[in-house]
Amino acid sequence: MNAFKHLLKTAGSHPPVGTWILSADPLVAEAIGHAGFEWGVLDMEHAPADMMDVVHLLQAVTSTRMVPVVRVPWNDPVTVKRVLDAGATSVMFPFIESADQAQRAVAATRYPPRGVRGVVGMSRASRFGTNLQYLTHADEGLCTIVQIETPDAAERAEAITTVDGVDAVFVGPADLSAAMGHIAHPAHPQVLDLMSRIVQRCKRAGVPVGTVGGTPDAVAQYRAIGFDFVAVGSDLGLMMRGAMNALSALKTQDVDIVHSVTVGTLTGATSHGS
């Protein structure tokens, strides 16, 4: 079974926690994987990752427990073909607006006659030709995740989830809030209400649905809404937050030390003078 689908199936009441890899750096991805995240998105849409970067990222997380999901930059069969040949088994498609677009996404991941994926015998996915059964069984090991990121797509969620081959839905809060006129405010009540309705539609269809929050508190809200899998922040976000918190703490400490020294000096001078 596909590793991501297995993760969702065995999660129970605990939604698997992932994060985003925006750095396109294999060493960072490997470190994040060892931190204990259950899954991670190797991003090609908003990160400077090209095809060789994806190969290196996939290699880097192999030794960790983090299940990789590659987000392609667009619903483009050429890019999807190359990502799959590189060894990706779980693919996320951004900005899916209709059942037709979802069908095209699924087709890009399947070999003919079920789809349009190009065939090659020698690839990293087939272990460089040593897996003789790869071409006949590749479709069985794939996971296709489609993103719902606008109110229009939300209204078509039921049609999207009924497409054969759509294994999970991912709601993008940032784009959804922007499309609703609440850019940079994904926690706006109207956005949360629509996200809740998307969750309900996906659950009626029996399709797992996930999302991402910038902070643990945001993710806790999404868990309460009923999301089946969640991500928190990104490698760069976690790094920057840690760096800024450390710097802020040290700057505050410096002020406290200077204040303490100054007060002590003045107190000592006053006592000596008296």
Please determine, for residue 274, whether its predicted confidence score (pLDDT) is greater than 50.
Answer: no
Closest alpha carbon to 33 in 53, 15, 60: 60
What is the spatial distance between Cα 117 and Cα 111, in angstroms, rounded to a whole number? 5
Residue appearing with tokens 């129970």: 12
The three-state secondary structure class of 92 is strand
Is-contact 60 30, C-beta < 8 A? yes
Average pLDDT over residues 124-133: 97
The residue count for the chain: 274
Average pLDDT over residues 210-218: 97
- What is the model's pLDDT at position 247? 96
- What is the model's pLDDT at position 230? 98
List active site positions. 46
Side chain identity at 268, as an amino acid letter? Answer: G
Domains of the chain, earliest start first: 3-242 (3.20.20.60)
Average pLDDT over residues 149-153: 98
pTM above 0.95, yes or no: no
- What is the model's pLDDT at position 268? 64
Q: What is the pLDDT of residues 15-65, one digit of tens each?
A: 999 999 999 999 999 999 999 999 999 999 999 999 999 999 999 999 999
More confident residue, 256 or 52: 52
Share of the chain above pLDDT 90, in %: 91
Whole-number CA gyration radius for the chain: 23
Residue appearing with tokens 């899954």: 39
Q: Residue 224: which residues within 8 A CB-CB, separation 6 or more?
A: none
Q: How confident is the model at residue 220 (pLDDT cuts 50, 70, 90)?
A: very high
Average pLDDT over residues 222-234: 97
